[in-house]
C-alpha cells in the first residue's frame, strides 16, 4: 500500500514518494505532536488534523519556507474547517479552499466550492461527501462549469466521477480525476472542442479565430465519453491534464472528408483524448500575446492516436473516380493523402496556430496573412503508422490535366493526379533511427465541413488555409517524403497522347518507367520561331524533372525560390547548344588546340540534356581532356533562354552565379512581396538556396529599389511593383537579374554589344504569365508565352583617353509587356579624338570628346525599328594646317545585319553616319579649298564651310569578342552639297567655274597619279600624295566645239587634295588635273599608239578674285617629232572674276610661231604673266569678239 512520507527529515508536509518536484500532499498540523513515519490517505483524512494541499510544481528544496508560512495561513480563523486548498502561488499563499466537517469517517463539505481554471471550474456542492481510498479521495457529486468565451453564464456538465488522486503509483498524483460525456454538438461548442486558428488586425487587438469542429455529434447516437485527470493549477500541462476518449466506440463521425467528398469516421485508440489549450485573446501590433488578467480562456483540442477509417469507404486507385481512401488536405480537392488500409494519425497539441495580418482586407483586396507563430496554439497531426501513404498535391491555380478517355468529350481535359511521393510514417522513422527516439513530425490539417467563426469571415478562413496552413503542411510533408526512386513519382496510367498541361501554361510531357510516370519535359516558356536563332532551343525546357523540384512544383499554394545551380542540375536538366559564336568564345577559354579543333568540327550541334552532352564529348575527347574542359563547356553551352521581341534572356543555371540570378515560381493567392519576406512560406527554402535569409535580403533589396523608383515616377516598373509584387492574383514564373547575352541583342542593335560591360548587362526582371497550349490527338504544343520584363542598364561615366575612337553604351532601357516592346530608350557615345586623321577637340562640351546619340523605338504595325540620332549640333576643332573645324549637325548609328539567320556571322559591322559641315582654313597665297569662314571657328557657333552627308566612322568586331573592336574613318561615302555650303568671297570655288562632285579618301597605295591626275603648279608648294590623304574632286565643263561642230562636251577633272600632318610628316597640298586619256600623272594625252598630246606645264595663275588655269606649250608628238614644229600653243581656262558666282568656264587658246616678232609673241608673254583684272578683261573682250565673228 502506498504511503505519504515526509518531504524531508522533520517535515510536517507528507508527499508521495519519488520525484524532484512536489505537486502537493498532506500538511500535518502543529497540533500533532508526534510525527508518524508515514501516512495513508485514510489516515490523513480520518485520523489526523491537517490539510490536503495542491501546489504548482515546486522543488523539494523550496518547501520548507512554504511549510512554515502555510501553518500560519491555515490557522487563520477565516480558514477554520479547511480541508484542502489549491495554491496558485506559494509565495503569496493564494488558494482555493475546500471546507469540510469531519465526524469520524463521515466527511461532508460545509459549503459549495469552485475550483477554477481559466473559463472552466469544478463545482463541488455543499453537503457532498468525501470518501478516502488507498490512493485517492472521491467526491460524491461534482459538476464541470464552462463559461463560453464572451459569455457570463456558466454552462454545467454533470460529472460521472470526481476524485483527487494522491497516491497512485501508476500515474501522476495531486490531480483531480473526472469523467463525463458530451452528447451534442451544442455541448461540444460550449466545451470548445476542435482545432483553432488565430489572427488579429494588422495593428493588433482582440483575436479573430475559427473553430474547426472535429467530431460530428449531430447524430443522436454519437457522443464523446471522456475520463481523465486535471490539474487546475496546470490545465495545459498534457502530462497532468488529459481527458481520454473511450476507445470502446467502434467509430466516431468527424468533419474530415475524403478527396471524393465523403465524411470520414475515426476510431479513438488508447492514447486518444482531449487536452486543454489556452485560447489566445489579444495581441499587440507585433503579434505578441497580450495578457488580460482574469480573462484566461481554454479550449479542448484532440491529442493522441486515432485510426482513420478510410478503407471502410472502399479502396480504389487514386486515378479512378473513387477517392474514398484518400484523406483530403485542407480546402483543395487536388491535395490529399492516399492510404492503403486505415492510417493511424496522432494529434500533437500545442503547435503554432497564430498568423499575423500583414495587410488588412480592403475593397477589392483580400487580407494577407504571415506565417504561423506560437502566440496561439492548437493541435497538428502526425502520420503514426500506415501500410502506405502517398501525398498528392498541385497548385490550385495550376492543376495538371490530361486528355480525356476516348468515350469522354474530347474538347475537355480531365484531372491528372500528381503524386509528390511516399510519406514516411513515424513508426518507420523510429525503426531506422540510431536510438529509436525521434520526435514526431506534425503538420496542420484542419477539417472544413463545419466551422464556427468568431470575428473572422469565410474569405479570411479560406485565405488562412491557402496562405498559411497549406504552405506549412506542404513544407513539413516534404521532409517526410521518402528519397530514392519513389520520391515524387506519379502513380497513374500513361495518358495518350503522353502530355499534361496546366492553366498557367506549363506543358508537361510524360514518360513511364518501372517506378511509374515520369516527367520527361516541362515547358516553362515558349519563344516564337521568328525570334529564335538557328540551332537554339525555342523553349525554356526542363527535362527529367525529379526529386525536390518535382515535388515542389506539385504542391498546392506554391512559392519556390531557386538560386542554386547544383540543386537544379540534380532535379532537372536543360538543353545544350554549340554554335559558331559559342565555339569562338570557348576558344578564348580553352588552351588545348586539339580540344578547340574538335569543338570547331562539331558546330553546330544540339543536345537534349546534360547526359547526352557528356556522352558525346566523352566519345570525342580523351578522359583527361574531358576532365579538364567539361565544366567550362557545360557552362558555356547551356541553352535555357527565352527569346522575346528579338531579345534573348538567358536563364541557364550555370550562369546564375555571374549575375546573381534568382528564379521564382509563384502559384498562390498571396502577394509576392509578402511571400518573399517570410522564408517559412518558401518551398524547401534551405534546399534550393545556399542561404535562404541571404536570398530573401537580395530580393527585398530589389523590391525596395523598384518601389522607390515607381514612387519617383519610373513608369516602366509600375507593372512589376503594382501587379507582380503587390497583387495576390498574379501567378507565373519570374526571373530576377537574368543575363542578357551580348550575342542575343536584336539584329538592329547588335552593334551595341561593343559598348556594353557584359558583367553588368542583365534584365531587372523577366516574367512569364501564361503560355497557351494547343492540344492534339498525337501531340501537344505550346504557343509563344506572354512575357513581361525590363532591361535597365546604366554606365554613366563618359569615355576618355587618347585612342582615335572609342564607343560606349551609357544607358539602355527596354520595357516588355505582352511579349512586345512598349518602351525603349538608350544613350550611347562615340569618342572622337581624330577627324580626317588629325586631332579633334569638341568645343563647349560637358562630356569630353564624346558625340552623344539617343536611341528610340518606332513601331509600325507589327514591327518596329530602333533609331539612334544626335540631339544637338556638335563642333570639333581640328588641330591642322588644312582643316579649321568639323561640324556635326546630325549623326546616326546603324548596324548592318542579316537578322537572326545571320546570327553566326563572324563580324558585326556598324556605322556612325555623320552629316554637317567641314570648315577649311584659308591658305596663304591661294585659297584653293575655299569652304569655310573668313576667320577660324574656335567654337563660335555652327561651322561654316562644306556641307556634307554620309561621312562615316565604321566599327567592326567579332560578336564572340565584342570588346575587341576596330574603328575606321571612312570619307568615301561622303556626299558634298555645294549649294548648301559657304565659300569665302575671294576663294577659288567662288570664282572658278568648277562643279564639286566628291570628297575622296586616299588609302592604301591609291595616289592621284593612279587616278589619272596630272600635277598642277600653283603659288602653293605641292607635294606628292601618299596615304592617308583626302581631296575635293571637281568637274570642269569645257563646253563644246561651237555651233559649227557636233555637240561634243569636253569635261575635265580637278583634284584639290591634302595630306594630314602626322608625327612623321607635315601636311601638304596637291592640285591635279584630269583630262580624258591622262595616265599615271603624266602631262600627256595618248591619242593612238605613239601619237599623243603633251603639255609642257600646267599652272594655276592666281590673283584673287582672278584664277586662270594655264596649259602651256601644247604639242602633238609622234615619237621625236612635234607639231607644230616651229611654234607653241597655250590654253587658258578662267571664270569671271566680277561675278557673284563662279559662272561658266571661259577658255582661250593661242599659237605663236617660234622666233616671231611683234604682237603675237608679246601677247603670249603677257598671258603667262597676267596679274590684273584689266588685262583679263581685255582678254575676255577679245574672246567675245571672236565668238561674234563665227
Q: Could you state, in chain order, the average pLDDT of each consecutive group of 10 residues for the chain (1190 residues)? A: 88 86 91 93 95 89 88 93 94 93 95 95 96 96 94 95 92 93 95 98 95 91 92 95 84 92 93 97 94 85 95 49 78 89 95 94 86 96 90 73 60 71 89 80 96 95 93 90 51 75 73 82 92 93 91 82 93 96 95 96 96 97 96 97 96 95 92 92 92 97 97 97 94 96 95 96 96 85 94 96 97 97 97 97 93 94 89 94 96 82 75 97 94 86 92 96 96 94 94 93 93 92 93 84 47 93 89 82 69 82 90 76 74 75 71 58 39 48 46
- Same domain, residue pair 964 and 1077: no
| Distance from C-alpha of 910 to C-alpha of 966, rounded to nearest angstrom | 10
| Residue 847, CA atoms < 13 Å, CB-side half-sphere | 19
Tell me if 320 is assigned to some domain: no
Cβ neighbours, 10 Å, residue 689: 21
| Cβ–Cβ under 8 Å, residues 983 and 994 | no
- Same domain, residue pair 943 and 1025: no
* Helical (H) or strand (E) element with 1002: strand 995-1002
Domain boundary among 945, 980, 1015: 980
- Same domain, residue pair 1024 and 1162: yes
- Take residue 804 and report the three cell numbers written for it: 582615335
- Same domain, residue pair 866 and 949: yes
Tell me if 675 is assigned to some domain: no
Tell me if 470 is assigned to some domain: no
- Same domain, residue pair 930 and 1003: no
| Distance from C-alpha of 413 to C-alpha of 1071, rounded to nearest angstrom | 85
* E strand map for 364-473: 368-385, 388-392, 401-402, 414-415, 419-422, 451-454
* Helical (H) or strand (E) element with 120: strand 120-124
- The alpha carbon of residue 894 and the mean position of all alpha carbons in its chain are separated, in whole angstroms, by 31
Tell me if 772 is assigned to some domain: no
pLDDT of the residue at 36: 95
- Same domain, residue pair 1044 and 1180: yes
Domain boundary among 938, 962, 980: 980
Question: What total number of domains does the chain contain?
Answer: 3
Domain boundary among 141, 174, 207: 174
- Same domain, residue pair 164 and 137: yes
pLDDT of the residue at 1181: 53
- Taking each continuous run of H as one helix and of E as one strand, the counts in the chain are 20, 72
- Same domain, residue pair 976 and 1036: no
| Cβ-proximal residues to 411 (8 Å cutoff; 6+ apart), any chain | none
- Same domain, residue pair 971 and 994: no
pLDDT of the residue at 405: 62
The three-class DSSP label of residue 561 is strand
Q: Write the CA distances from 403 to 323, 489, 499, 1119, integer angstroms.
A: 20, 20, 8, 99
Tell me if 644 is assigned to some domain: no
pTM surpassing 0.85? no
Tell me if 790 is assigned to some domain: no
| Cβ–Cβ under 8 Å, residues 786 and 773 | no
| Cβ-proximal residues to 708 (8 Å cutoff; 6+ apart), any chain | none
Alpha helices by DSSP H, listed for 223-307, are none
Q: Which domain holds residue 863?
A: 834-980
- Same domain, residue pair 966 and 1079: no
- Same domain, residue pair 975 and 1016: no
* Radius of gyration over every alpha carbon of the chain, rounded to an integer in angstroms: 50
Cβ neighbours, 10 Å, residue 95: 22
Strands 838-842 and 874-878: antiparallel
β-bridge mates for residue 951, sequence order: 914
* Helical (H) or strand (E) element with 297: strand 297-308
- Same domain, residue pair 89 and 49: yes
Query: Which residue shows C-alpha cell 479542448?
Result: 300
| Cβ–Cβ under 8 Å, residues 286 and 252 | no
- Take residue 907 and report the three cell numbers written for it: 563580324
Tell me if 290 is assigned to some domain: no
Tell me if 1113 is assigned to some domain: yes
| Cβ–Cβ under 8 Å, residues 482 and 424 | yes
pLDDT of the residue at 1124: 72
Query: Which residue shows C-alpha cell 549623326?
Result: 891
Amino acid at each position: 500500500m502506498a504511503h505519504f512520507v515526509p518531504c524531508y527529515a522533520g517535515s510536517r508536509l507528507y508527499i508521495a514518494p519519488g520525484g524532484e518536484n512536489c505537486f502537493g500532499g498532506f500538511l500535518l498540523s502543529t497540533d500533532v505532536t508526534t510525527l508518524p513515519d508515514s501516512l495513508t490517505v485514510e489516515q490523513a483524512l480520518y485520523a489526523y488534523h491537517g490539510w490536503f494541499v495542491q501546489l504548482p510544481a515546486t522543488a523539494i528544496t523550496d518547501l520548507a519556507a512554504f511549510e512554515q508560512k502555510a501553518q500560519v495561513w491555515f490557522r487563520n480563523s477565516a480558514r477554520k474547517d479547511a480541508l484542502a486548498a489549491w495554491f496558485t502561488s506559494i509565495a503569496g499563499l493564494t488558494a482555493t479552499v475546500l471546507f469540510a466537517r469531519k465526524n469520524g469517517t463521515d466527511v461532508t463539505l460545509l459549503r459549495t466550492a469552485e475550483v477554477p481554471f481559466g473559463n472552466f471550474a469544478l463545482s463541488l456542492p455543499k453537503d457532498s461527501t468525501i470518501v478516502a481510498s488507498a490512493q485517492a479521495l472521491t467526491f460524491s457529486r461534482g459538476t464541470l462549469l464552462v463559461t463560453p468565451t464572451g459569455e457570463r453564464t456558466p454552462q454545467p456538465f454533470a460529472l460521472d466521477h470526481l476524485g483527487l488522486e494522491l497516491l497512485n503509483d501508476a500515474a501522476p498524483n495531486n490531480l483531480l480525476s473526472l469523467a463525463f460525456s458530451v452528447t451534442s454538438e451544442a455541448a461540444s461548442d460550449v466545451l470548445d472542442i476542435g482545432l483553432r486558428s488565430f489572427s488579429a488586425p494588422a495593428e493588433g487587438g482582440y483575436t479573430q479565430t475559427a473553430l474547426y469542429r472535429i467530431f460530428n455529434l449531430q447524430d443522436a447516437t454519437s457522443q464523446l465519453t471522456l475520463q481523465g485527470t486535471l490539474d487546475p493549477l496546470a490545465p495545459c500541462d498534457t502530462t497532468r491534464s488529459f481527458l481520454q476518449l473511450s476507445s470502446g466506440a467502434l467509430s466516431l463521425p468527424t468533419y474530415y472528408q475524403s478527396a471524393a467528398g465523403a465524411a470520414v469516421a475515426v476510431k479513438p485508440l488508447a492514447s486518444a483524448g482531449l487536452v486543454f489549450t489556452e485560447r489566445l485573446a489579444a495581441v499587440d501590433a507585433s503579434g505578441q500575446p497580450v495578457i488580460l488578467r482574469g480573462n484566461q480562456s481554454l479550449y479542448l483540442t484532440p491529442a493522441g492516436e486515432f485510426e482513420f477509417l478510410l478503407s471502410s469507404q472502399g479502396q480504389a486507385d487514386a486515378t479512378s473516380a473513387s477517392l474514398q481512401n484518400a484523406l483530403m488536405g485542407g480546402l483543395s480537392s487536388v491535395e490529399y493523402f492516399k492510404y492503403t488500409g486505415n492510417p493511424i494519425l496522432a494529434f500533437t497539441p500545442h503547435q503554432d496556430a497564430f498568423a499575423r495580418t500583414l495587410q488588412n482586407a480592403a475593397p477589392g483586396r483580400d487580407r494577407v496573412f504571415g506565417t504561423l507563430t506560437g502566440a496561439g496554439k492548437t493541435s497538428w497531426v502526425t502520420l503514426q503508422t500506415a501500410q502506405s501513404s502517398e501525398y498528392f498535391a498541385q497548385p490550385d491555380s495550376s492543376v495538371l490535366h490530361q486528355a480525356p478517355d476516348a468515350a469522354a468529350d474530347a474538347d475537355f481535359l480531365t484531372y491528372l493526379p500528381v503524386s509528390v511521393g511516399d510519406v514516411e510514417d513515424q513508426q518507420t522513422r523510429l525503426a531506422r533511427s540510431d536510438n529509436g527516439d525521434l520526435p514526431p513530425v506534425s503538420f496542420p490539417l484542419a477539417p472544413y465541413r463545419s466551422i464556427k467563426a468568431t470575428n473572422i469571415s469565410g474569405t479570411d478562413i479560406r485565405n488562412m488555409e491557402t496562405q498559411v496552413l497549406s504552405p506549412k503542411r506542404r513544407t513539413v510533408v516534404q521532409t517526410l517524403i521518402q528519397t530514392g526512386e519513389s520520391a515524387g513519382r506519379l502513380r497513374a496510367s500513361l495518358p495518350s497522347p503522353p502530355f499534361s498541361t496546366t492553366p498557367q501554361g506549363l506543358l508537361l510531357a510524360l514518360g513511364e518507367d518501372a517506378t511509374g510516370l515520369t516527367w520527361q519535359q516541362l515547358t516553362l516558356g515558349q519563344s516564337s520561331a521568328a525570334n529564335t536563332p538557328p540551332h537554339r532551343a525555342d523553349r525554356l525546357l526542363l527535362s527529367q524533372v525529379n526529386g525536390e523540384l518535382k515535388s515542389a512544383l506539385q504542391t498546392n499554394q506554391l512559392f519556390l525560390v531557386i538560386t542554386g545551380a547544383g540543386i537544379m542540375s540534380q532535379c532537372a536538366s536543360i538543353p545544350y547548344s554549340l554554335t559558331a559564336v559559342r565555339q569562338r568564345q570557348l576558344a578564348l577559354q580553352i588552351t588545348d588546340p586539339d580540344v578547340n579543333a574538335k569543338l570547331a568540327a562539331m558546330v553546330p550541334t544540339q543536345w537534349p540534356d546534360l547526359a547526352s552532352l557528356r556522352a558525346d564529348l566523352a566519345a570525342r575527347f580523351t578522359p583527361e581532356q574531358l576532365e579538364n574542359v567539361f565544366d567550362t563547356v557545360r557552362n558555356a553551352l547551356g541553352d535555357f533562354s527565352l527569346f522575346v521581341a528579338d531579345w534573348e534572356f538567358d536563364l541557364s543555371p550555370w550562369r546564375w552565379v555571374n549575375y546573381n540570378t534568382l528564379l521564382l515560381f509563384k502559384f498562390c493567392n498571396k502577394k509576392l512581396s509578402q511571400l518573399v519576406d517570410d522564408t517559412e512560406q518558401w518551398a524547401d527554402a534551405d534546399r534550393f538556396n545556399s542561404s535562404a535569409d541571404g536570398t530573401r535580403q537580395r530580393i527585398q533589396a530589389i523590391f525596395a529599389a523598384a518601389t522607390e523608383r515607381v514612387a519617383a515616377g519610373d513608369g516602366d516598373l509600375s507593372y512589376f511593383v503594382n501587379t507582380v509584387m503587390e497583387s495576390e492574383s498574379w501567378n507565373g514564373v519570374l526571373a530576377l537579374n537574368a543575363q542578357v547575352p551580348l550575342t542575343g541583342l536584336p539584329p538592329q542593335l547588335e552593334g551595341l554589344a561593343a559598348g556594353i560591360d557584359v558583367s553588368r548587362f542583365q534584365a531587372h526582371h523577366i516574367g512569364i504569365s501564361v503560355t497557351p497550349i494547343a492540344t492534339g490527338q498525337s501531340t501537344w504544343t505550346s504557343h509563344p508565352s506572354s512575357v513581361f520584363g525590363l532591361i535597365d542598364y546604366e554606365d554613366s561615366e563618359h569615355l576618355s583617353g587618347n585612342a582615335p575612337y572609342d564607343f560606349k553604351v551609357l544607358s539602355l532601357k527596354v520595357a516588355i509587356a505582352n511579349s512586345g516592346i512598349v518602351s525603349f530608350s538608350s544613350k550611347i557615345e562615340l569618342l572622337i579624338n581624330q577627324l580626317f586623321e588629325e586631332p579633334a577637340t569638341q568645343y563647349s562640351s560637358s562630356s569630353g570628346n564624346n558625340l552623344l546619340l539617343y536611341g528610340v523605338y518606332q513601331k509600325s504595325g507589327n514591327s518596329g525599328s530602333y533609331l539612334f540620332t544626335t540631339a544637338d549640333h556638335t563642333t570639333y576643332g581640328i588641330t591642322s594646317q588644312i582643316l579649321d573645324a568639323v561640324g556635326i549637325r546630325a549623326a546616326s548609328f546603324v548596324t548592318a545585319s542579316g537578322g537572326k539567320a545571320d546570327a553566326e556571322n563572324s563580324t558585326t559591322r556598324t556605322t556612325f553616319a555623320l552629316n554637317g559641315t567641314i570648315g577649311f582654313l584659308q591658305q596663304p597665297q591661294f585659297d584653293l579649298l575655299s569652304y569655310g569662314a573668313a576667320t577660324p571657328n574656335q567654337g563660335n557657333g555652327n561651322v561654316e564651310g562644306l556641307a556634307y552627308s554620309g561621312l562615316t566612322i565604321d566599327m567592326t568586331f567579332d560578336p564572340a569578342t565584342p570588346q575587341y573592336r576596330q574603328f575606321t574613318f571612312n570619307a568615301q561615302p561622303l556626299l558634298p552639297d555645294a549649294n548648301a555650303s559657304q565659300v569665302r568671297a575671294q576663294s577659288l570655288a567662288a570664282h572658278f567655274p568648277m562643279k564639286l562632285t566628291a570628297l575622296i579618301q586616299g588609302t592604301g597605295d591609291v595616289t592621284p597619279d593612279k587616278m589619272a591626275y596630272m600635277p598642277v603648279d600653283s603659288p602653293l608648294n605641292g607635294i606628292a600624295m601618299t596615304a592617308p590623304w583626302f581631296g575635293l574632286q571637281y568637274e570642269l565643263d569645257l563646253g563644246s566645239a561651237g555651233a559649227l561642230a557636233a555637240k561634243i562636251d569636253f569635261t575635265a577633272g580637278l583634284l584639290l587634295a591634302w595630306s594630314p600632318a602626322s608625327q612623321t610628316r607635315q601636311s601638304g597640298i596637291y592640285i591635279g588635273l584630269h583630262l580624258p586619256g591622262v595616265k599615271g600623272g603624266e602631262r600627256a594625252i595618248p591619242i593612238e599608239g605613239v601619237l599623243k598630246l603633251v603639255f609642257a606645264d600646267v599652272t594655276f595663275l592666281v590673283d584673287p578674285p582672278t584664277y586662270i588655269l594655264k596649259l602651256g606649250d601644247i604639242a602633238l608628238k609622234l615619237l621625236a617629232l612635234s607639231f607644230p614644229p616651229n611654234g607653241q600653243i597655250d590654253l587658258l581656262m578662267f571664270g569671271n572674276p566680277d561675278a557673284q558666282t563662279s559662272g561658266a568656264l571661259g577658255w582661250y587658246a593661242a599659237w605663236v610661231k617660234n622666233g616671231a616678232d611683234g604682237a603675237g609673241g608679246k601677247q603670249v608673254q603677257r598671258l603667262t604673266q597676267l596679274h590684273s583684272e584689266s588685262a583679263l578683261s581685255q582678254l575676255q573682250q577679245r574672246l567675245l569678239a571672236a565668238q561674234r565673228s563665227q
